[in-house]
Amino acid sequence: MSSLRPLGDRLIVKPSTKEEKTASGIILPDTADKERPEQGEVIAAGPGRLLDNGNLAPMHVKVGDKVVFKKYSPDEVKVDDEEFLVISEADVLAVIE
């Protein structure tokens, strides 16, 4: 399997898939709703953002964190038939604890 190594302040996120159930008990797979997910798990994090003075600003989000991010900010990437999202740490709204 190939791996992705994010650069700068970018994160590689595995999007959350959710199955929804109707009131009558019918399960709707995640493909029924074509909207992009707004949360997922961080599977890789870059080294941080390079500041104007040459120092590296450390990342606040780490591998394993479940995050909520802006809806249209991620770029989709497909590696070995698996989809991932590449997102800047600045577009992360919150960590789910």
Q: Domains along the chain?
A: 10-19+27-96 (2.30.33.40)
Which tens digits make up the pLDDT trace of 48-82? 999 999 999 999 999 999 999 988 888 899 888 88
**Maximum distance among all alpha carbons in the chain?**
59
Beta strands in the chain (DSSP E): 10-15, 20-21, 27-28, 39-45, 49-50, 56-57, 66-69, 75-79, 82-88, 92-96
Q: What is the CA radius of gyration of the chain?
A: 15
First to last CA, the chain: 30
Output DSSP code: residue 95: E
Which tens digits make up the pLDDT trace of 32-56? 455 556 899 999 999 999 999 999 9
- CA dihedral of residues 11, 48, 61, 16 (deg, nearest 10): 0
Residue 22 has pLDDT above 90, yes or no: no
